[in-house]
Structure 1
Amino acid sequence: MDTTPTGTDRTSTRTRPGAGLSGSDRPRLARHVRLDFSRTRQRPILLHPEAVVVLNGSGAAILELCDGRHTVAEIVSELGARYQTVPDDEVREFLTRLVARHWVELTDG
């Protein structure tokens, strides 16, 4: 395990463009990306060096749970408890796109 600059232990982190997500993967925002709220737009936003991405409610809900502690399966389960229906494949597809853009990193479970 390597230690991050904040002193937390972490196993190998990877960005696997195009690869499927495992239910045991633990997604987290990349170090250069931040989830925030735009008071001007009254919407959650994803900030990264190249641009600002305005998120819809479900995208923000997914990313709020991408803390490196929750697994993909736990994120789907938590969202299922909050909302009536959460398509597992749509959550995985959303996270796969963000991994491909290097905005989300996966830590082995």
Structure 2
Amino acid sequence: MPAFTSASRPFFRRGVRLQHDRVRNRWLIQGPERAWLADETAATVLQHLDGKHSINDIAALLATRYNTPTEQILADILDLLAALKAKDLLREKPSD
């Protein structure tokens, strides 16, 4: 399974979603018959996975928000998304 690139536009595969558990105040990635905890940093990235925005777009947005170099954020996002793709939780929107 090829890795995402900075131009990729990832989204959750069918049946997978990010949800905030208000009772326990934590983020979950919910899939069929399984759930994974997502920390606040991961949840901030995952909230932008809509298949419309590229990973570059997300990194630029978060770099501005957190006053951090885009390259550093981009590397962290690519690592996170590669791990989720390996678990078959994400898909990539084809190029137009």
* Shorter-chain TM-score tier: 0.7 to 0.9
Q: Find the partner of 1:46 among 29, 44, 52.
A: 29
- Identity fraction in percent: 26
TM-score calculated relative to the size of structure 1: 0.76
> After TM superposition, where is structure 1 displaced by more than 6 Å over at least 4 residues in a row?
none
CA drift of 1:76 comes to 0.7
Partner of 2:76: 90
Partner of 1:103: 89
Structure 1 segment 1-109 matched on structure 2, within 5 A: 16=1, 19-85=2-68, 86-109=72-95
CA drift of 1:108 comes to 2.8
Q: Conserved in 1, the CA contact under 8 Å of 2:62 and 2:73?
A: no
Q: Which blocks of at least 5 consecutive residues in structure 2 are unaligned? A: none
Structure richer in helix, relative to its length: 2
CA drift of 1:88 comes to 1.7
- 1:89 and 1:83 map into 2 onto residues whose CA distance is 15
Larger gyration radius, structure 1 or structure 2: 1
Aligned-partner residue type, residue 78 of structure 1: L
Aligned positions, number: 92
CA RMSD of aligned residues (A): 1.4
TM-score calculated relative to the size of structure 2: 0.85
